[in-house]
Amino acid sequence: MDEPVPAAQPSLVRPYTLTAGRTDPGVHLPLEAPVETLESSRPPRWPAGDVRADIVALCVQRPSVAEIAARLSVPLGVARVLVGDLVTQGYLRVHTTLDHTANNDERRELIGRTLRGLRAL
């Protein structure tokens, strides 16, 4: 008989320790902005299990900032700060989102991408 899989243990790391108490991402970072991993000539030297490595790996799929937080089960503010750090360090790129000059087709496309992303979660 198969043994039940134990539930995932909650992280004992407090969110403010992941960001050193910072709350500002340091870059313009809308929640719906797609984030992409960049090719880097310098490999990161993060310890095993570091959430930054998880973020970089996830961003190959170009998720939004909100999706990153949801998929990695980290608070949105923590995800924003860490993504901002990774952008300034050259590991990620944030793509622009719509502004007040966007036409209806662009807005519909954004809504469609958002719905597809939510369904994927």
> At a CB cut-off of 8 Å and minimum separation 6, what does 92 contact?
35, 36, 37, 38, 55, 56, 59, 83, 86
The Cα 117–Cα 83 span in angstroms is 18
Specify the fold of 15-120: Arc Repressor Mutant, subunit A (1.10.10)
Helix (H) and strand (E) counts for the chain? 5, 2
Return the ∠ at Cα 45 (arms to 52 and 43), rounded to 5°: 90
Q: Per-residue pLDDT for 72 more than 50? A: yes
Model confidence pLDDT, tens digit, residues 20-66: 556 666 777 888 888 999 987 577 788 888 888 999 999 999 898 88
User: Is residue 93 helix, strand or coil?
Assistant: strand
pTM value surpassing 0.85: no
